Amino acid sequence: MIVFTATDQVTGKVFAGSTRRSLEDHWGHLLVQESEGAMGEFFETLRSSGADSFKMEEWGYSDNPKELREMLAEAMEALGAKAVKVTLTRPENKSKPSMDLMKELEALKQEMSDGSDDPDYTPKKKEAVVKPEAPKPAPKAEPKPLRHTASTREAEEMRALIAGIEARRRGGTKAGQKAAKKAGAAGLAKAAKSATGATAPAPVNRPKLSEGRTGSAAKEKRIREAIAAEKAEMEAQKRNQASEEAKEMREIMARLDQRTKEGARIHRRL
């Protein structure tokens, strides 16, 4: 028989024991016992440190049981080793679950036998389990329209006034352009008529070349005067329109300023 030592290189603990097998076979046997739940300080250390941290060595060999015991005691005393003791765990008591299972089987067998003997027996229907309905999500509240406060009303009035001024300005511009075109056409027609009247037949004693030149110059002069008058009238209309628009804008700004001041006074009173 062999006396061996097993040293844990992590904790430094030393264990001693004896076996009839070789060291390799006995070490494998100890690992099997550890996996089956063997208890004891050696197996607890083996689980915590791991099998790779242990080093197995042969201490001595003897066929005499008395010498073997003395050799084991010597190793434990010299190395401060502890004996390798095996304590197997008890299997869990499975009698109670087995008894409960047998009772349920007997009860089921009894119910089946009772139902087969009774001609009026009808199997009980399993009641359907009603699952509680999931709570429906609350409907989202629609956004409420903003209240029309004094400031929003003032802004709407201002936009309406500005839109009206812009519409009048566009309409006035178009009307002025049409009137200017008509006036220009009328002026040109008048100038043409007057030029035609001015070019009446002259006395025979005047040369024809000089008469043609004099009538053409007078016609050009009247055309230029008509164009200048038309431009002056258009400029006057534009100035009048700009003056009216500026006046309306000043009135609007004055009204808004007055309302702002009144709102501030009311706010201070509150």
> Does a structural domain hold residue 121?
no
Instruction: Specify whether the CB–CB gap between 9 and 53 falls below 8 A.
Output: yes
Verdict on whether the full-model pTM lies above 0.85 = no
Pair 169, 59 in one domain = no
Pair 182, 71 in one domain = no
Q: Which among 18, 173, 32 has a CA at the least distance from the CA of 81?
A: 18
Cα atoms found within 13 Å of the Cα of residue 238, Cβ hemisphere only: 8
> Does a structural domain hold residue 201?
yes
Looking at residues 95-106, what average pLDDT do you find?
A: 66
Q: Which of 83, 110, 132 is the last residue of a domain?
A: 83
Pair 69, 180 in one domain = no
Pair 161, 69 in one domain = no
* Beta pairing, strands 82-83 & 54-61: unpaired
Pair 169, 259 in one domain = yes
Pair 155, 71 in one domain = no
CA 27 from chain centre, in angstroms, equals: 61
Q: Does 126 or 256 have the greater pLDDT score?
A: 256
> Does a structural domain hold residue 98?
no
Q: Does 258 or 105 have the greater pLDDT score?
A: 258
> Does a structural domain hold residue 95?
no
> Does a structural domain hold residue 55?
yes
Buried b or exposed e, range 90-108, using 16+ CB within 10 angstroms: eeeeeeeeeeeeeeeeeee
Query: How sure is the predictor about 124, in pLDDT bands with cuts at 50, 70 and 90?
Result: low
> Does a structural domain hold residue 109?
no
Q: Which of 62, 83, 104 is the last residue of a domain?
A: 83
User: What percent of the chain has pLDDT above 90?
Assistant: 19
Residues 6+ apart with CB under 8 A from 268: none
pLDDT of 172: 59
Q: Does 102 or 7 have the greater pLDDT score?
A: 7
If one counts the domains in the chain, the total is 2
d(CA 147, CA 149): 6
> Does a structural domain hold residue 41?
yes
Pair 173, 65 in one domain = no
> Does a structural domain hold residue 131?
no
Q: Which of 83, 98, 113 is the last residue of a domain?
A: 83
Give the residue numbers spanning the domain of 53.
Answer: 2-83
What is the tens place of the pLDDT at every residue in 25-64?
Answer: 999 999 999 888 888 899 999 999 898 999 999 999 888 9
Domain CATH number, residue 72: 3.40.1440.10
d(CA 96, CA 47): 31
Looking at residues 184-194, what average pLDDT do you find?
A: 53
What is the tens place of the pLDDT at every residue in 214-257?
Answer: 567 888 888 888 898 888 999 999 899 888 888 888 888 888 88
